[in-house]
A and B are shown apart, each in its own frame.
Chain A
Amino acid sequence: MRNPLIKRVPRELKSEWHKYLVIIIFMVVMIGVISGMYVGHDSMLAAVYAGKEDLNLEDGSFELSKKASDDFLEAMSTGEKADVRTYFIDKGTKEADKEVAKAIDEKLNEEVTAAIEEGVRTQCAAYGIADEAMIKEQISAAMDASFDEAVKTAQESEEYKKAVEDAYKEAHDKVIEAVDEEWDEVSDRYNLDEEISPVPVIIYEHFYKDAAEDSDCDGTEDATVRIYLKDSPIDMASFNEGRAPKTDTEIAIDRMHASNVGVKIGDTVKVGGKEFEVVGLLSYVNYLTMHESNTDLMFDAFGFDVAMVTPEAFKKLSARTHYSYAYLYENKPETKIEKADASDAFLKALITQTLVHDYEIEDYLPEYLRQSSNFAASDIEGDSAMVSILCYILIGVIAFIFAITISNTIEKEASVIGTLRASGYSKRELVVHYMSMPLVVTILGAIIGNVLGYTVFKNVALNLYYNSYSLPSCTAVWSNTAIIKTTVIPLILMFCINLFVIVKKLQLSPLRFLRHDLRKSKRAKAVRLPRWSFLRRFRLRILFQNLPNYLVLIFGVIFIEVMLCFAFGLPDSLSQYTEKAPDMMFAEYQYVLMGSKDNDGNTIETAEESAERFSMTTLLYPKKKAAIREGMGSGGDESVSVYGMVRDSAFIKLGNDVSEKNVYISSAFADKFGLKKGATFTLHAEYENKTYEFTVTDIVNYDGGIAIFMDSDSFNKVFEKEDDDFSGYLSHKEITDIEEKYIATVITSDVILKVTHQLEHSMGGAMNVFKYALIVMTAALIYLLAKIIIERNEQSISMVKILGFKNGEIGALYIVPTAIIVVLFSVISFVIGYILMVWIFHVVMLQMDGYFAFFMKPSSMVLSILYLLIGYSFVSVIDFIRIKRIPMDVALKNVE
C-alpha cells in the first residue's frame, strides 16, 4: 500500500499556494537570472573558443613591405632560421671578389701599359728619337703587338699570383669583419645566435587594405575600415546577420560597429570612395574587439571597422595593400610558456629569413598577444564576479527561507506529527514526508528557473556581451557552473537544512508533539510589566511571546538589506570608480614607448620639463582558485604592474629603502590581498618560468591598480635590462617632441574614462536586471516573513476575535509590534547588511583582476531602507486582510 501521506503534497501545494508561489517565484527569479547569466557567459565563451577552431584563427601573423616570394614562404614554413652570417659573408665575398678582380685587372693593365711605354721610350731615347708624336705612335704599336703577351707573362709570374692572393684574402677578411660587426649587433638585439627549435608553420596570404569609411554617405569620413577578402581560408568571420558579399558592390561589415554607427543590412556605405551595399553583419574571429592597433589601450567600435569584400572589389579599391601573412603552427603549443617560446622561435626565423630574402618586416604579432582576439574572451572570463556575489547572497536567503518554512510547518503540524508517531509512524517515514514538500518546491523552482535561464535570461546576458564586443552568434551550452550554483547547491542546502531541522525536531517525543511542547527551554516566570494601558501591555506580551519569530524576522530583514545594498551599491560602486578613476592616475600622461632608443640607437628624449622616465613590466600574483568555478572563466592569477621610478620621482615618492627586494606596493594591492608592511610575496612572469620575491617596504596611496614600485636601477637589475633602459615617460603635460612611431601607447584620463564608460555600458543592463530581480525577491521574502508572525498567532487571533476584539484592535495588537520591529531594525539591519556586503564584495574581488571597493551613495542608503519600509507597508495591508479572514472556529474547533 502506498503511503497515503503522499497525497498531502499536492493538496498542501494547493491550499498554501500563495506561500509556495512566493517561494517558487523567489527560486525561479534567482535560478533564472543567475543561471541565465552563467549560461550566457559560458555559451558566449564556448562560441568564442569554438570560433577559434571553426573559423581557423591564426597563431600569429606578420606583414612585409612587399609581396613575399614562394621561396621565402617555403623557407618560412620550415620554421628554420636562415644562416644570415654565412649568407652575408658569401654575398659580401662574391661582391668583394668582383671588386678585387676588377681592381687587379685595372692595376695590371696600368702596370703593363706603364712598362711597355717605359720600354718604348727607353728604346726611342737610345735611337735619338725625340718627336713625341712618333714616340706615341711607337708606344701604340708596341701596345698592340705585346700588351696581351705582357699581361699573360705578368699573370704567370709568382709575384703577381701572390699579390692577387693577398688582395683576395684582405678583401675577404674585411667582408667577414664587416658582416660580423653588423651581425653581432643584430643578433644581440634579437638573440639570433641562440639555437632554436624550429616551429614549422602553414602560411596563408591574408592581405588587407585600410580605407576610409563614410557610413552615412554624407561625405565625411566616419571610421577607418580594414578590408579583407571574402575567400580567406584563415581568420574567417561568422555572420550574425545577412551573408557574405557576392558582387563587387556588396560588403559585409562588423556587427558591433554597424550597430554603433546605425548601419543596417541593405544600407549603403562608402568605403575608399566607392559605394557598397551592406549585405552582412559579421564577427571576425580575430576582431572580437575593434582594436585598430595592438598597442591601443581601448578598442573603438565607432572609429574602426573590419569588413569583407569580394576579390574583385578588393582589387578595385585604390588603398595600399598590406602584405600580411597569417600562420598556423603545425604542432600547436598548449601553455602560455610554450606559446611564447614558439613565437620567439618563429620571430627569429622571420627576422633571419627576411634578412636573407631582402624583405622588411612591417608588423609581427603572435596571436596570444593580440588584443582584438583575446581582450573580449579574457574580459568575459572574469565577468562572473557580480553574478557570484548575487548567487552567494541568494543561496543564503534560500537556506534561510527553507529553515523558517520547515520549522513553521513542523510547529503547525505538531499534533499530526505526535499522532502519527504515537500510531507507529517511524521518524524516517516522517522525515521523508516532511522533506518531500520543500524538495518538490525546489525542484519545481529549479526546473522553471533553469528553463527561463536557458531561454529568456540567457539572452539578457548575451545582450550585455553583444553590447560590448563583436562576438559571434552563439547557442546555449550546458553550464556546469550554472547548474551547480543555482540548482545543485540550493537543492543540497535545502535538503541538508530541512533534514537537520526535521531530524532535530523529530527527536522530541511524540508526547511533546501532542502537547505542542516544542520549545527546548521552559518559559521562565512572566515578566512584570509597568501599569500601562491594557492594550499596551497586551501588545508587549505578544511581542515577548513572539520573540523567536521576531528574531527570524530580524534575520530576514538583514538578508533583505544585504540584497538591497547589492542592488543599490553595485551601480554606485561602479559609478564611483568611474568618477574617481581619472583622479587615481599618478601621472596625467603616461607615454609607453616602443623601446628606449630610436632607430639610430639614440636614447629617446623629451624637452618636456615635467616628464620623467619610468620602467614598467607586468608580473602575476598567484591567486587561490575558486573551488566551484573552474574551467571556462575561472580567471587566472592577478596581474601586477611593476614600476621602476627614478629615485626622486615627482610622481611616486620612494624612500631610500627601496631596492631589488624591497618595494612599495599600491594601496589597492595591499587592500585586496591584505599585504602589510614587512610582508613577503612572490610574483611570477606570465610567459617565462621566472619568479621574483619582494618584501613590502611601504604602501603607496594609489587605488588605481594592483602595482608595485621600485627604483629604476633596481628594476633594470631585477629584470636584466641595460643600465639606462626605460619604458617611457610620465608627465603632467602632453609631450609633443617624441615621434609617434616610437610611442606604443599613451594613457591619459580620457583613455581611462573610455575604459570605465565601456564598463558602465557593458554592465549597466545587468545591474538593472539584478536590481529588479532583487526587489522582487525582497518583496517575496518580506511577505514570507510577515506571514510567519500571523500564522503562528492564528489561534490567539481567533480567540481574541471570539472575545470580541475588533479587527482594527487585533491589527494594532499583532501588526504594530511587527511594524515597530521592522522600523527599528531596518536601520540596524542596513548597517549589518552594508558591512556584510563590503566583506562579500571584497571576497569576490579577490577572484577577479583589479580592485575597487564597495561604495554606496547616501541617497542609496536611504532608499534601501525606504524600499524595505514601503515593501513592509504593503505586506502589512496583506497581513491585515489575513487577520480579517482568520475564522473564529480556529480556536473553537481543533481544526489545524
Chain B
Amino acid sequence: MAKETRVILICSGKGGVGKTTLTANLGIALARQGKKTAVLDADFGLRNLDLLLGLENRIVYTAQEVLEESCRLDQALVKHKQEANLSLLPAGNPRMLDWLKPEDMKKIVEMVSELFDFVLIDCPAGVEDGFKNAVAASKEAIVVTNPEVSAVRDADRVIGLLNSNGIKPIQLVLNRVRPKMMASQEMLSVDDVTDILALPLLGLVLEDEQVIVSTNRGEPLTLSGSNSPAARCYSNIVLRLQGEEVPLIDPSKEGSSIGDKFRRLMQTKIF
C-alpha cells in the first residue's frame, strides 16, 4: 500500500452529542474534496448513520456477512447516491448484538482500508463492548463533546481509555456551541473545556437549526454546499484534518450583540 489510510474513530462517551452527525458531515465533506472515504457504523445496536446519509433503504449486507464470507466487501459497501467517493458500511444488524469481537472489527477495517483514503468509524456511546471493538480497529480519534459538564466528564473518561489503548493523535471537536450563552457565561467556555480535556482543538461547531432539518431529510449539511454556520464549521474541520491551518471561529464574535460585548467587558477581570 503506497499511501497510509487514515482510520479515525469518532467517539464521545456520552450519547447525543453529535458523533453520528459529525461522521456523516465529515464523510461527505471529505468525499467532496475527492478523497475516497468510507464511513463505518460501529453503533450497530442502534444504528442511524444510514438514516443521516439517506441510505437506509439501500442496505442489503453488513460487515457481518462479509466476515462470514456470504458476500463480497464491495457488495456490502453502500455507495452514496450523490457523492460517489463516499461509501457506508454498516457493521451489523441490530438484531445480532453479540457477534462482533475486536478481532472481527480489526479485520473488517483492514479490508476497507485497502480501498479508501479515509475510514471514519462512528463509535457507539458508552465505554463498553461496542466502544472497545471500535477502538481496537482505530489509529487516531476525534472526541466530540458539548459545552456541558456531563459531556465533558464522559469525554475525559474516554480520552483516558483512548490514551491507554495507544490511539494517537486524539483531537477534540466542541459541538453545539452557542456563542450568546458563552458570551454571557451561562455555558462552559471553550477554555473551560480545553482546560480539563487538554487536547488540541480540531474545531468548534456552532449550534445550528439547519442540522436538525438536514438530519431529518437524510442529507448532511455539507452535501448541499450550504453556507449555514454549522456547515462552515464542518468544512473547516475537514481542512484542519488534512493539516491545513484554518483559524478557529471565535464564539465571542459570532452573532453576539453589542449588549453582550458590553456585558462581557464588564465581567473581564482586570488582574
Partners in one complex: no
Q: Give chain A's interface residues, CB within 8 Å of chain B.
A: none
Which B residues contact A (CB, under 8 angstroms)? none
